[in-house]
Amino acid sequence: MCSAHSKEVRVALKAGRSDVFNGAQACEAREGLAKAIDFFKRAKGQLPSGEENDQAEDVRLLLAEALFTLAKLTQDENKREEL
């Protein structure tokens, strides 16, 4: 569901509609992504350190994708740079 909201917001932004940053769908997408990021960070912390395995790589990729998507949906440039 979160990815559907974020996709709709991204499409609207590409069409030049900057008002979508404040819309309900953008807010829901950011909230969902923030929850996903917290989950992936916790999962990353639970993985054995120093081991390069498929599971660790999957978590890193999912975390990076969630952070990138959240950054694209964040209007504040400073917050976007933090991500």
Query: What does the H/E/C string look like for the chain?
Result: CHHHHHHHHHHHHHCCCHHHHHCHHHHHHHHHHHHHHHHHHHHHHHCCCCCCCHHHHHHHHHHHHHHHHHHHCCCCHHHHHHC
Mean pLDDT along residues 51-60: 80
Mean pLDDT along residues 51-70: 86
User: Is 70 exceeded by the pLDDT of residue 39?
Assistant: yes
User: Is 80 exceeded by the pLDDT of residue 15?
Assistant: yes
At 63, list the tokens: 């975390």
Range of the domain at 22: 2-82
Query: pLDDT band at 4, cuts 50/70/90?
Result: low
The model's pTM is 0.71
**How many folded domains does the chain comprise?**
1
